Structure 1
Amino acid sequence: MDSFGVYIHVPFCATRCGYCDFNTYTPTEVDSSHAQYLDALERELELAAARGLPAADTVFIGGGTPSLLGAEGLGRILAAVRNTFGLADGAEVTTESNPESTSPVYFEGLRDAGFTRVSLGMQSASTPVLRVLDRQHTPGRAVAAAREALAAGFAHVNLDMIYGTPTETDDDVRRTLDAILATGVDHVSAYSLIVEDGTAMARKVRRGELPAPQEDVYADRYELIAGTLEAHGYSWYEVSNWAKPGGKCRHNLIYWHNRQWWGAGPGAHSFIGAQRFFNVKRPEKYAQLLSDGILPIQDRETITEAEAHTEAVMLGLRLKEGIPAGWVGAGARDVVDRHVRAGLLQADERLRLTDEGRLLADGIITDILAAE
């Protein structure tokens, strides 16, 4: 059987970052406590597991800021998953954490609870860049948190970085990479900043208070990041993710391989059978429905074979392993050949992005799907 994952969404944040459009709430934006959330979450996991779903090969707690719940609250979530779905032998169990809400005692508590992996939101080692992103931690805190997690016994620690922030320089990116390399973590995720409509950052860009991100800058920064990480023993396995041997995030591979997962928590998305569905977003409504014994599903759709194919190509081509060449329809073969001649794709029994192709991955994938 393919791997099965459980995703838990923690919707709470101490403050809102200017670039974020996730389903998150600060204390002034929600009339729901952490205790109410945890009670409701346990009930959702009970109802979901009663549908006969398999034990979890991976668990990923994201947000929001899961570390606001502390090691005790996160341990309670993991215990609930263990007591409902169950954990497969050797399960990977990850939680995201913000550096400013962690400590050595916190990481020791996570290890004692059974977590195997930590993902830390570093974003940048530059104080001005962190200020533009409205992040609360200092540059050194993310590095210290990574070292604390490693010292607590975590073999698998990820640091997230964001590149392309308005006002960021090449030297800012180099300093961030130097800081990451100094920690010895085994996984790095690097995402280009996307200015999402409706965010505080989008409003600042629209008013001219911040310059808009530039596509050519994204490409230059990506090459700098990839070249540096790959020269220091990290291998890319997805366009935005690098790992040392044994360090790949197994939970995210479930998404990229289009496998099945249950998403619990306000606004969480699930993919079970041929159905994709998502929960109500507001924590108050989420808790109310579950107190009445009702799964808090807001909407659902059945994925057609054509949609499943589109998603498999879209996700699979972002992976280093690529996709079987036979997945691409006859109508797109001329497009594939053109990208091969341009040095953007490798084609034999599989289609794979070249190093240059990684810079243009979204456009290449769009071209192929449009031609089909």
Structure 2
Amino acid sequence: MGSALPLGDPAPADGSLPDDLVLDPTQDFGVYLHVPFCRVRCGYCDFNTYTAGELRGARQDAYADDVLREIALSRGVLAARAPLRPASTVFFGGGTPTLLPAGDLARMLAGVRDTFGLASGAEVTVEANPDTVTPALADSLATAGVTRMSIGMQSAVPHVLRVLDRTHDPAGVSRAVAAARGAGLDVSVDLIYGAPGESLDDWRASVDAAVGLSPDHVSAYALIVEDGTKLARQIRRGEVPEPDDDLQADMYELVDETLDAAGFAWYEVSNWATAPAHRSRHNLAYWRGTDWWGYGPGAHSHVAGLRWWNVKHPAAYAGRLAAGESPAAGRERPDEAARRLEDVLLRSRIAEGLAVSELEASGRHAVAALIADGLIDAAAALHGRVVLTRRGRLLADAVVRALTA
């Protein structure tokens, strides 16, 4: 089970939006569908997920119907304020979405399509653990309208997979990729680096294995030790070492160099694609701050600057919707200063960067020093854009602090 929900204002039981909120009918609209079920809990995971023994009466076989109720509620909330927009992107995240039958995922996607419509060329992604993917599943998802599968590879080294509590073996990743390819889906593989006991050679083997699968997209994230996880307890007891920041920096440089040589281009600090068409448009929408509605327990939404989040447990989520109430637990509306800070934080992470002119005076004055330190690309800055160098990506938090001081 994930970390605590943020503090915020109470959300109305009917899910209605503030009277003065102005929706932009021309802005893209994304849909996130959270599937909170996992067979086992990975020791590092802090996501809002639940194993069978943690469901406390919630029914996995009824989950698609619960989500469809929230989709119906959202239609009324949004239609009351502006014309409904077709979904540009749909993302099934988890948890392990592919623990649900393909038919349940198809019904949820059909609910989105019937309620909002799908934009022409909409991107529809399903996250999957390798050991849940079969050719039949991939074919069913493609038939339902899924266009992309994001496969949780994490590592190609058995002892690293064990320390991460992953249930698949390296060969399973190859089978999952082949199944997705056979169904005509775009393929992304996700990697994690910096696990206890993982060497630079281990990481090199995993990156080379990922490249050898010929995916369209690779995500590589540094392992972060979250409070309350099994891994955090193991580190506190001295059973495993905590991640080494210097080693993780070396690992980042290795994956960036290797992917660049293999024809991938970075477009966000932790994401690379073989071509712009293979970038995750759904995640880019998060970094650009556009609108999305997140469905499911603990899911977060963002519309016109308003954010809200759902109750965490699947039983509480189902109970509210069965009673005809919104599952939203709280919401917030950041002020202008907070929105400006977040905009710099998120948009500086992507390859398109942000305009120097959008910074406050202190931030504009900091650009020259950041160029001198090798953190911001000089050529891009001459064209009025703040774009991180590889060194800048490693020190992105420091860059943001300088730009917003």
- Above 0.5 in TM-score? yes
Residues paired across the two proteins, number: 369
Q: 2:272 aligns with which of 221, 231, 242?
A: 242
Secondary structure in 2 aligned to 1:345?
Answer: coil
For residue 263 of structure 2, what is the aligned residue in structure 1?
233
Instruction: Report the CA distance shift for 1:363/1:143 in structure 2 as closer, same or farther (over 3 A).
Output: farther
For 2:74, the equivalent position in structure 1 comes to: 48
Q: Distance in 1 between matches of 2:399 and 2:171?
A: 38
Structure 2 residue runs of 5 or longer lacking an equivalent are 1-25
Q: CA RMSD in A?
A: 1.0
Give the equivalent residue in structure 2 for 1:280.
Answer: 311
Tell me the SS of whatever aligns to 2:48.
coil
Report the residue type matching 1:92 in the other structure. Answer: E
* AA in 2 matched with 1:295: S
Aligned with 1:353: secondary structure? coil
Taking the TM superposition and a 5 Å limit, the aligned residue runs for 1:7-86 are: 7-30=32-55, 31-50=57-76, 51-52=78-79, 53-86=84-117
CA distance in 2, matches of 1:136, 1:116: 25
Spell out the pairing of 1:145-160 with structure 2 (5 A cutoff).
145-154=176-185, 156-160=186-190
Q: 2:352 and 2:278 mapped to 1: Cα distance? A: 16
**Residue 387 of structure 2 is aligned with which of 342, 349, 352?**
352
1:122–1:160 contact (8 Å) kept in structure 2: yes
Contact 1:97–1:120 under 8 Å retained in 2: yes
Residue of structure 2 equivalent to 1:134: 165
Summarize deviations over 1:194-248 as a string: whole Å, max 9, x none: 0000000000001110101111111100000000000000000001000011210
Is 2:119 aligned against 1:88? yes
- Residue identity matched to 2:191: M
What TM-score, normalized to structure 1? Answer: 0.97
* Match of residue 125 from structure 1: 156
* Secondary structure in 1 matching 2:100: helix
Identity of aligned residues (%): 50
Alignment partners' CA distance in 1, 2:204 and 2:376: 28
TM-score scaled by length of structure 2: 0.89
**Is the partner of 1:147 in helix, strand or coil?**
helix
Runs of 4+ in 1 over 3 A off after TM superposition: none
User: Contact 2:37–2:50 (CA<8 Å) still a contact in 1?
Assistant: yes
Q: 1:262 aligns with which of 293, 297, 309?
A: 293
Q: Is the 2:64–2:105 contact (alpha carbons within 8 Å) kept by the matching residues of 1?
A: no
3-state SS of 1:256 partner: helix
Per mean C-alpha deviation after superposition, the further-off stretch among 331-340 and 199-208 is 331-340
Match of 1:319 in 2: 350
Residue 30 of structure 2 contacts residue 89 of structure 2 at CA under 8 Å; is this kept in 1?
yes
- 1:333 is displaced (CA, Å) by 3.4
